[in-house]
Amino acid sequence: MANSNIVSLPIYYNASENNRLAFDALMSKAKSLQYKLSLTNEEMVAMIDKLTAAKNNLNGKATDFSKADELLEEYNNRDNNQRYHNATAPSQLAYDNAINELKKLQNTTQVTQATVDSAIANVIEAKNQLDGKVLSTEEQNKFDAIKSFKEDIAYYQEAIKYLPDAYRTAAEGLLQTQGLNVLPNINAFSTESIVSMQNNLKTWLDFYIKSADKQLQGKRDLEAKIQELQNLVDTKLSLYTELNRATDFINASKEMLQDPSKAYLYEEQSTKLTTVINEAIDAQNKADKLIADKEKERAAALEELLKLQVPGKDSYIKFTDENYKITASLDDIVERTKLVAKILPYLGDVYAGNPIDPEYLKYKTVDEYLQVGTPAYDKMVTTINRLKEDILKEFALGRGTKDSMGSNIDKRIKTVVTDEDVINLKPLIDLADTYSKRALENINRMRFAIGVPPMKMAPISDKRKAMMIVHALAGYQAGQNPDFKIGDSHVGTIAVLLVPHAMTAGYSENVYPSANAPIISNHFTPEYMADVYNKLELMEGIKYFSDYFNDTEAKSGHYTNIILPQHQYFYSAMIVGNVVPENNSFLSYRVSLTELFYELADDQYKWWLKHFDEWPKVNPETDLDRTDFNNL
Q: Which residues pair with 373 in a beta bridge?
A: none
Residue 534's pLDDT is 95
Q: Is 573 helix (H, G, I), strand (E, B) or coil?
A: strand
What count of other Cβ atoms lies within 10 Å of the Cβ of residue 91? 18
Say if residues 464 and 624 touch (Cβ distance below 8 Å). Answer: yes
**Cα angle at 445 between 444 and 450, to 5 degrees?**
90
Residue 276's pLDDT is 96
**Cα angle at 271 between 266 and 274, to 5 degrees?**
125
pTM of the prediction?
A: 0.74
**Domain spans of the chain, in order of start:** 10-57, 218-287, 309-610
Residue 508's pLDDT is 67
Q: How many CA atoms lie within 13 A of 271 on its CB side?
A: 5
Residue 2's pLDDT is 46
Give me the phi and psi of 557, to 5 degrees please.
-60, -45
Q: What span, in angstroms and rounded, lies between the C-alpha atoms of 442 and 444?
A: 6
Q: How many CA atoms lie within 13 A of 529 on its CB side?
A: 30
Size of the chain, expressed as the number of residues it contains: 632
Say if residues 250 and 226 touch (Cβ distance below 8 Å). Answer: yes
Residue 537's pLDDT is 95
Say if residues 467 and 417 touch (Cβ distance below 8 Å). Answer: yes
Residue 1's pLDDT is 44
Q: Which residues pair with 493 in a beta bridge?
A: 413
Residue 147's pLDDT is 93
Question: 10-residue block means of pLDDT along the chain (632 residues)?
Answer: 66 88 83 66 80 88 93 93 93 93 85 92 95 93 94 91 82 91 93 94 86 82 95 86 92 92 89 96 90 89 91 92 93 97 85 74 91 94 96 92 74 92 97 96 95 93 95 92 74 90 75 87 92 95 94 90 93 91 84 91 76 67 76 68
Q: What span, in angstroms and rounded, lies between the C-alpha atoms of 204 and 171?
A: 8
Kind and range of the H or E run holding 240 = helix 240-257
Say if residues 14 and 112 touch (Cβ distance below 8 Å). Answer: yes
Say if residues 247 and 295 touch (Cβ distance below 8 Å). Answer: no
